Structure 1
Amino acid sequence: MPYWRQSLTIEYALILVGDSLKAKYQVYRDIGGKYRFRLRAGNSKIVVVSEAYESKVGCMNGVESVQKNCQSDIEDKTLREKRLANPKYEIFVDADLKFRFNLIAVNGQVIGSSEAYDSKQGCKQGIEAVKKSCGADIEDLTTKQTTEKIAEQCTGNEVTGIAMMAPPNVVESGSIVTFEGWLINNKTGEGIEKATVSILEHDRSFLADKVLASGVTEKDGGFSIAWKSYQADFWDDTVEIYSKFVGKGNCKPSRSAYYQIRVV
């Protein structure tokens, strides 16, 4: 189970943002250079993320597939109900007993996956957000991504919030794990761009926490950071991961929840 010590939960971060924005699909490149897309709802919450694509064309086809299949029926795999034919949404419970959903295309391929929800109701609300966003515009962030230094986006000594989507519970040693989340100004609810976010392993001994990987936030404050997994501690096969912004200028530091990953 993830060790839930946190300065800002995903739900709290999203409440600060409000719901004045329009939903949109965002196409971007992760730290490994692969293409991905995510659906950001009107309240700025990321409700669906995609797999990695080798080409932008493949990624755009993935967006079109989500739009085409977004009104599909829901199959609740936590109940003993009749199984539905594809396309469909599948609600299931992960290893941490959290609710998630996948959107399955006609060919059986997973074209979109959700974050973890504490309740089934929250999970269903996520599906409804996807259904309401079928015709959302597509924003191409691949032409905007940069590695310049952070601009002064906090006018005073302001609190920031950093939230990270739950990573997989178990990974194979040597595999690539991508950590996704976003950094926001709590006062304005806007994303903080061009900021360095690091992924750290929380050391449970007397040693300092170890930086595993780092990345730079995009225009909307989002980040996607890849890490080649390995067993960081000699005494067990788990790593306790969190993301951290050290702060800069008038923007105060922040960090995400802790998550445990077993590396086998």
Structure 2
Amino acid sequence: MAGTFVLKRSADGFMFSLLAGNGQVVLTSERYASKDGALNGIQSVMTNAADDTRYAMNDAGTHFSLRAANGQVIGSSETYSSPAAAREGTQAVKRAADGAQIDDQT
């Protein structure tokens, strides 16, 4: 089920969260200096989310980052209770990013 990218202004720029269809946050972006940068980050998530090789797990396997083709982190997960839960988190990102809409709250 497609999710929603929620774009917000932060104290030091812009950031977005990807929400699953049930409203849960499944990915949070880095901070961007400009709105255009954040919008490019959203596009990068949409482009890269379906590719399993773009996900990097931490050593414990309980947290992941989604990386662009150049290796730059474009979003990070919460910390999960187990590696299996984190792997399911990557699947949730894939489902949410596919066809997601943008809710611009800036």
Asked whether the two chains share a fold, i.e. TM above 0.5, the reply is: yes
Tell me, which stretches of 5 or more residues in structure 1 are unaligned? Answer: 1-20, 75-87, 143-264
Q: Please give the secondary structure, in 1, of the residue aligned with 2:63.
A: strand
Which letter maps to 2:100?
Answer: A
Runs of 4+ in 1 over 6 A off after TM superposition: none
Higher relative contact order (CA 8 A, sep 6+): 2
Alpha-carbon distance, 1:22 to partner: 5.7
- 1:140 aligns to 2:88 (yes or no): no
CA RMSD after TM alignment: 1.7
Q: Report the equivalent of 1:152.
A: none
Q: Report the equivalent of 2:9.
A: 29
* More helix by percentage: 2
Which letter maps to 2:56?
Answer: E
Which letter maps to 2:101?
Answer: D
User: Are 1:35 and 1:56, in contact at CA under 8 Å, matched by a contact in 2?
Assistant: yes
Q: Please give the secondary structure, in 2, of the residue aligned with 1:51.
A: coil
**Of 91, 104, 121, which aligns to 2:67?**
104
User: Are 1:98 and 1:118, in contact at CA under 8 Å, matched by a contact in 2?
Assistant: no
Q: Percent identity?
A: 41
Tell me, which stretches of 5 or more residues in structure 2 are unaligned? Answer: none
**Of 93, 107, 113, which aligns to 2:76?**
113
User: C-alpha distance in 2, partners of 1:106/1:91?
Assistant: 16
Q: Report the equivalent of 2:49.
A: 70
Q: Report the equivalent of 1:126.
A: 89
User: C-alpha distance in 2, partners of 1:126/1:98?
Assistant: 11
**What TM-score does the superposition give when structure 2 sets the normalisation length?**
0.91
Tell which structure's C-alpha radius of gyration is larger: 1
User: C-alpha distance in 1, partners of 2:52/2:61?
Assistant: 21
Alpha-carbon distance, 1:45 to partner: 1.1
| Closer/same/farther in 2, CA of residues 66 and 99 from structure 1, 3 Å limit | same
User: C-alpha distance in 2, partners of 1:33/1:110?
Assistant: 18
**What TM-score does the superposition give when structure 1 sets the normalisation length?**
0.38
User: C-alpha distance in 2, partners of 1:73/1:48?
Assistant: 15
CA deviations on 1:133-167 (whole Å, 9 max, x unpaired) are 2210010011xxxxxxxxxxxxxxxxxxxxxxxxx
